[in-house]
Amino acid sequence: MTASSTPRDCATDLIIRAMHYAAMRHRDQTRKDGKTPYINHPIALAATLSNAGVREPSILAAAMLHDLIEDTATTDTDLRAEFGSEVADLVLEVTDTKFLSKPARKRLQRAKASRASEGAKLIKLADKICNLRDILARPPADWTPQRKQEYFDWAAKVVSGLRGTHPVLERKFDAVVRVVSA
């Protein structure tokens, strides 16, 4: 830290570096609708967390980076070297185990939810909120109404293990679910 730096400068730097890193790693990817740039998703997570009052720089940075290990060639070693153990550990905690089958990954996500750290729970809540919003606004072209409903039902089961973490985020999740139920 230089003489003119403040802790806030360091926090802002971490978040901006994470946003840039995620943008570079996701640069050739789109969301499942095939049109939306993938980077919109991690930015939406960080914005959802920030708008709900989450200010911890490591959580916001990890939210920006949360899908890198699953969806790019980025490794936990890369993240540790670039962002430190605190951020890398949060990303690892919310990363699916890709060598498992999809049903096994979904079961594991539900099982791990209640045992996750508070930071991982916040990221997972924001991820589910943003995924549901995306499915409503820009669904994958090949998803039937039944497939969308199955995702909503599964997301609700994951979030049931996250309850008690952050009332504002939980209300945001419930509001998105109510749109589908209406």
The active-site residue out of 33, 56, 71, 86 is 71
Q: Which residues pair with 14 in a beta bridge?
A: none
Contacts of 171 (CB under 8 A, 6+ apart): none
Residue with tokens 């504002």: 168
Is residue 70 part of the annotated active site? The answer reads yes
Residue with tokens 């998105």: 176
Asked if residues 41 and 19 have their Cβ atoms less than 8 Å apart, the reply is no
The active-site residue out of 70, 82, 86, 96 is 70
Is residue 118 part of the annotated active site? The answer reads no
Asked if residues 141 and 34 have their Cβ atoms less than 8 Å apart, the reply is yes
Catalytic residues: 70-71
